């Protein structure tokens, strides 16, 4: 692996890594997260979520197996709260949870990423490791990208632009970064976890599992996470979304992500409103599919 091939994109200042280690780590996480930890290998990663007892999502993240421990790549803003809530379930388990302050997260996107993926024959969710570097295939269809976890602090992987490539890759996949404002509002299915292969319906019990399973087998969600573009940077989390009849049909769930001449927002709206004329604070919202 020639890490010098990955030397031109930006550090993801908004993500950090958390280590969960100890002889009970796998069993402990299996009882907390929505995905099946037992099938995770060192050559792949999972998207997953951690929820309240009521099934409301606290955080969404990527998780990687590292020998007898696990690495969680998560939005920095929610990390302290995530650790606080997760630690409540440790009890007598032999588990250690800590922030990996020496690991930095980067994103690589475009032709450089595509060439690297082809050269190393990386499938979706593939992981490559080499000494102090871990590389995840974070692509979505034609948008080819890599998430890079590295201890390197020299010139190899430095921030070269204000564009957060790794965050953009998550957005293109439909993977929202939960914040303190958007936590504990919706169940995993509403937040696209099924489409991200982030829920296992075959594993045993975990925190919030009863609600998640009941929705899957008996219910039908009426709201869903969608992506909009807008010409305004001023929309805020919890701003209401209205249809042409001035009825509230949803709410903004993330701050603006600047992309070219517009701004991207995740929102949760009623499914029967997807094809309607939607506005928030008098700004037109344009639906983007992912």
Structural domain total, the chain? 3
Q: Output the CA–CA distances (angstroms, integers) from residue 63 to 30, 183, 241, 250, in the order listed.
A: 12, 19, 33, 30
Q: Are residues 73 and 24 in the same domain?
A: yes
Residue 155 has pLDDT above 70, yes or no: no
Instruction: Indicate whether 243 belongs to any domain.
Output: yes
Q: Are residues 94 and 19 in the same domain?
A: yes
Which CATH number covers residue 280?
Answer: 2.40.30.110
* End residue of a domain, out of 63, 82, 99: 99
Q: Are residues 115 and 154 in the same domain?
A: yes
Q: For residue 145, name the pLDDT band (cuts at 50, 70, 90).
A: very high
Task: Count the neighbouring beta carbons within 10 Å of the beta carbon of residue 250.
Answer: 25
- Tell me the pLDDT tens digit for each residue of 199-220: 999 999 999 999 999 999 987 8
Q: CA-based angle 59:84:191, to the nearest 5?
A: 10
- Mean predicted confidence (pLDDT) in 191-201: 97
Instruction: Indicate whether 157 belongs to any domain.
Output: yes
Share of the chain above pLDDT 70, in %: 93
**Per-residue tokens: 208:** 């919030």
Q: Are residues 129 and 143 in the same domain?
A: yes
* End residue of a domain, out of 70, 99, 128: 99
Nearest CA to 63 out of 105, 33, 93, 99 is that of 33
Q: What integer pLDDT is reported at residue 163 of this predicted model?
A: 84
Which CATH number covers residue 26?
Answer: 3.30.70.1400
Instruction: Indicate whether 42 belongs to any domain.
Output: yes
Instruction: Indicate whether 211 belongs to any domain.
Output: no
* End residue of a domain, out of 156, 173, 190: 173
Q: Are residues 143 and 127 in the same domain?
A: yes
State how far the Cα of 20 lies from the Cα of 243, in Å rounded to an integer: 44
Can you give the residue range of the structural domain that contains 29?
Answer: 15-99
Instruction: Indicate whether 201 belongs to any domain.
Output: no
Q: For residue 154, name the pLDDT band (cuts at 50, 70, 90).
A: very low
Q: Are residues 110 and 80 in the same domain?
A: no
Q: Are residues 93 and 108 in the same domain?
A: no
Q: What integer pLDDT is reported at residue 162 of this predicted model?
A: 72
| 220: CB partners within 8 A, 6+ apart | none
Instruction: Indicate whether 208 belongs to any domain.
Output: no
- Mean predicted confidence (pLDDT) in 164-169: 94
- Tell me the pLDDT tens digit for each residue of 96-141: 999 999 999 999 998 889 999 999 999 999 999 987 899 999 999 8
Instruction: Indicate whether 65 belongs to any domain.
Output: yes
Q: Are residues 109 and 93 in the same domain?
A: no
Q: Are residues 248 and 227 in the same domain?
A: yes
Instruction: Indicate whether 187 belongs to any domain.
Output: no
């Amino acid at each position: 692996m020639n890490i010098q091939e990955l030397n031109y994109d930006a550090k993801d200042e908004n993500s950090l890594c958390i280590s969960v280690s100890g002889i009970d780590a796998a069993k402990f996480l299996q009882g907390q997260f929505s995905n099946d930890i037992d099938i995770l290998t060192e050559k792949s990663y999972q998207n997953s979520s951690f929820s309240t007892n009521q099934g409301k999502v606290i955080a969404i993240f990527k998780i990687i197996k590292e020998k007898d421990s696990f690495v969680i790549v998560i939005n920095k803003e929610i990390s302290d709260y995530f650790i606080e809530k997760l630690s409540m379930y440790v009890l007598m388990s032999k588990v250690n949870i800590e922030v990996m302050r020496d690991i930095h997260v980067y994103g690589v996107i475009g032709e450089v990423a595509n060439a690297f993926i082809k050269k190393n024959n990386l499938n979706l969710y593939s992981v490559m490791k080499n000494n102090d570097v871990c590389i995840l295939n974070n692509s979505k269809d034609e948008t080819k990208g890599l998430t890079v976890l590295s201890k390197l602090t020299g010139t190899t992987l430095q921030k070269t632009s204000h564009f957060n490539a790794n965050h953009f890759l998550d957005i293109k996949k439909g993977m929202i970064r939960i914040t303190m404002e958007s936590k504990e509002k919706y169940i995993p299915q509403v937040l696209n976890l099924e489409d991200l292969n982030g829920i296992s319906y075959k594993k045993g019990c975990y925190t919030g599992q009863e609600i998640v399973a009941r929705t899957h087998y008996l219910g039908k969600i009426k709201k869903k996470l969608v992506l909009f573009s807008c010409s305004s940077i001023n929309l805020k989390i919890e701003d209401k979304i209205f249809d042409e009849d001035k009825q509230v049909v949803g709410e903004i769930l993330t701050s603006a992500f600047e992309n070219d001449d517009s701004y991207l927002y995740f929102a949760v709206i009623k499914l029967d409103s997807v094809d309607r004329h939607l506005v928030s604070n008098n700004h037109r919202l344009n639906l983007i599919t992912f």
